[in-house]
Structure 1
Amino acid sequence: MGFVGLEIERAAVATWPASTVERVDGWLYRCCGLLNRKRSNSALPPAVVADAAAAVERLEEFYAVRGTKPIVQVSPLDRHAELDAFLAARGYRVVAPTAVMFADCTRVLDDLARLPLPGRL
């Protein structure tokens, strides 16, 4: 997924808004106590996580203060493989895998225009 995937993840933040958002060392901490949504109650790491131990300590404090368990959105995995391994060793587990798909809009519209529709053969 690479760089494009990272851009998509950052853009998706607005689709699941949170009532509390904090930026800490490139991380985006999100908490929305009224909604039990994983995406709006998760931490999004920066492209590069230099010190996973310190970063995870800080995010665990953020969520502990708010009375909720931390959720880390590990994506794109190719950039966060080390973070994912660190979290697994710390007892975190995969809860809701998500597939992110994207396509060129012009190609999609061209493909749709070629589909047979009712009344159009």
Structure 2
Amino acid sequence: MNWLLVVCGAMVGAPLRYLTDRAVQARHDSVFPWGTFTVNVTGCLVLGLLTGAATHLQLLLGTGLCGALTTYSTFSYETLRLAETGARLQAALNVAASVAAGLAAAFAGAALAGM
């Protein structure tokens, strides 16, 4: 039954990632991957909020939704593409900002959840 919670969360998270990424990126005329950055930080915030939540909620929203919403592979690929096209500063900023904002969002989510 746990796998079904993960699948249900992923069914929402994957399209949400795609739609959010496209909507955010369409608003920026920049090589910086703002869409991926946004979904990854948002996922960190939600996971922070879920810290200590009931197991079923963690599986549905944490593993399923956030697992499908966020994307480390796309983050890595976009960073590599930035570096390959000569946008090395943006590549470094993407790594630094993603790690810092992701950690800050996870801590903020945990704090908001009263952890």
Shorter-chain TM-score tier: under 0.3
Larger strand share, 1 or 2: 1
Bigger radius of gyration, 1 or 2?
1
TM normalised by structure 1 equals 0.26
TM normalised by structure 2 equals 0.27
Larger helix share, 1 or 2: 2
